[in-house]
Amino acid sequence: MNTAEKKVFQEIQVLRKDISDHDFTYYVLDEPVIPDAEYDRLMLRLKTLESLYPALIISDSPTQRVGISPIGEFKEVSHLSPMLSLDNVFNEDELIDFDRRLKDKLGFRASAQREVEYVAEPKLDGAAVNLRYESGLLVLASTRGDGNRGEDVTHNVRTISSVPLRLRGKNVPKLLEVRGEVFMPKIGFLNYNQRVSEMGEKPFMNPRNAAAGSLRQLDPRITADRPLEIFFYGIGKFNHSKTPHAHSEVLEALHGYGLKVCPEWKLMTSIDDCLRYYSYLEKKRNSLPYEIDGIVYKLNLLKHHSFLGSSSRAPRWAIAHKFPAQEELTVIEDVEFQVGRTGAITPVARLHPVFVGGVNVSNATLHNMNELLRKDVRVGDTVIVRRAGDVIPEIVRVVKKFRHVDSQPVEQPQQCPVCQSDIGREEGEVVVRCMGGLLCAAQRKEAIRHFSSRRALDVEGLGVKVIEQLVEAKLINGPADIYKLSLEQLSKLERMGKKSAANLIESLEKSKSTTLTRFLYALGIRQVGEVTANALSKHFKSLEKLMIADEERLIEVPEVGVTVAASIKTFFSETKNQIMIAELIEAGIYWPDYSSSEVMEVWLSGKTVVLTGSLTSMTRDEAKEILRKMGAKVTNNISRSTNLVIAGDSPGLKADKARSLGIEIYDESAWLKLLDMY
């Protein structure tokens, strides 16, 4: 190796270490230290050097996560130690019996010691995998299989960004067999299903199927395109000079090696603690960014694991405490077709009410006509309905053995069910739409509801019922008309007294002062959500420049691709939309110039922010993404270096700690005002 090659080799080594460190802080600690653009620059530089010097490429280079060609077939491989399943309990009494049996076997009742320590971990609803590291290098990843042998899915697991290709630290084990759960986060699952549905492809039934199906792809490039995550929860074989004595030490050691563990795990000192944690997590379940279906309790001391051993299928020192089922049987009473604000016609199943996932469910989405036909849902069918978190309930499948012999397939309507306009399907789309536009009352109602919603123009008091009355009375035909309403007109509405009408007029006046981002989002441009609206406002800095931009200029915006660019261009090219925007500006809607956004970025750049509690206006992941784009560093823990805490509902101990340290706290209302400035 000559001098020039040595210099390149040294730079490549530095780049690999830097990228690996940034992967750890971003994907494992959730505390990025550099902007995405800087990370992309480092990766591009490494790829360039490796392409010029291919002999220097190694298997654990960050550039080698995704293979370039599919494998021929899945091979079976053996686990070094069995991957056992878990026995389940479904109520408090069964868990107390489990605890009593363990204490009897350990001899605790005859001794002075009356309680045992447990580690409680959320039971993720994903796909179990077994990873093998040798001298710190990932050499094999496999599915659970029958517990002794699974399928080799190394090529797919390598594509998951939070899986280290090489363990961190200098004192890594010579051999580590580690168990984890691959899952698809809720927001990733929803976005992926929406994307494939629009392309006419089959969406995943649930996040568990999404994770399992993604691992069983012959082509790793397909897996890499799917938003997979992983949490590690235990070890099989472990060859190291320092052996942990407790399961809590195992989790801490895995984290130290750069392996991501679930942040919700807790050490419990009694079975009563376990029951309290169950109640806590059951309430928090829907606000978590991933699906869980229960809690796993494991005895903490590893010597107890060895003493108790395992049955043929499950360890005796662990149990899964399952949450109530989120899938139930019910009957389809009718299938109706709803019209959305963009004219999309969506089939909705009306169900015989059933209690599932903690609520009574009487409606379930069928997504689109293709999905309705694929699942072959008919009136009178017995179906399995699923509800997960805040996701709209959906039909999992029809139980066809209960189908009536005279049942008939549901037919697609030939005209819009609301305005009887023609319906059609644009090229390349699977969604059927009403062509009536704002002539359609349903589209008018939905467009105005979206325009006045909290994350758009935020017109307090203009709810669904009020909008329905205004549209049906022909007092409003579009968003601009809401600013022409008088106190007298509003006072005559059902359940709208003079005081409520006056409050609504005041709210309408207040909503006129907004931001370009909120205004763009409020317009309801197809495929333009809050993130894209923010990117457009930052890039063009004025509505006028955006409206005349061609598709080539639109694609320059980071969040905009070819399809979104075409949608934006089409929207601003239509005369009716130009008239609507002019009417809104004439009504008095305005926003400050872009300098306020730049001030916000300077103020938040490099600042450390902690999110705590449940946000109602957006998910925690969305809030984190916005904060990072504003230049902030988002962390999970309060410390003296924390600059700001954003507290949603039930903020808990973090807010108390922040107050004791004198750290500034913003509630959700203040956070939304902060975004208005941005």
* H helix intervals, 121-160: 154-157
Beta carbons of 142 and 152 less than 8 angstroms apart: yes
DSSP symbols for 533-591:
HHHHHHHH-SHHHHHT--HHHHTTSTT--HHHHHHHHHHHHSHHHHHHHHHHHHTT-B-
Query: Virtual CA dihedral for 441, 442, 447, 448, nearest 10 degrees?
Result: 60
> Do 209 and 176 form a contact (C-beta atoms < 8 A)?
no
Which residue type occupies 419? Answer: C
What sign has the CA pseudo-torsion 316, 318, 324, 327? negative
Cα–Cα dist 339/438, whole Å: 12
Of the residues 47, 75, 123, 607, only one is catalytic, namely 123
- From the list 464, 440, 429, 451, the residue with the least C-alpha distance to 339 is 440
Question: Which residue bears the tokens 């809401």?
Answer: 482
Query: Hunting for tokens 């704002």 — which residue is that?
Result: 438
Q: In Å, what is the CA distance from 578 to each residue of 286, 476, 588?
A: 41, 18, 16
Q: Are 674 and 596 in contact (CB under 8 A)?
A: no
- Helix (H/G/I), strand (E/B), else coil: 337: strand
Pairing of strands 433-434, 423-424: antiparallel
Q: Which two tokens stand for residue 101?
A: 């049996």
Give the SS3 label for residue 429: coil
Q: How many helices (H) and strands (E) does the chain have?
A: 25, 22
Distance CA 159, CA 223 (A): 7
Indicate the DSSP class of residue 652: T
| Whole-number Å distance between alpha carbons of 81 and 178 | 10
Radius of gyration of the chain measured on its C-alpha atoms: 28
Length of the chain, please?
Answer: 678
Alpha carbon separation from 65 to 58, 85, 140, 534, 678 (Å, rounded):
11, 30, 13, 31, 36
Angle at CA of residue 522, ends 189 and 584, nearest 5°: 170
- Token readout for 620 is 């925690």
Concerning whether 123 is annotated as a catalytic residue, the answer is yes
Among all residues, which ones are annotated catalytic?
Answer: 123
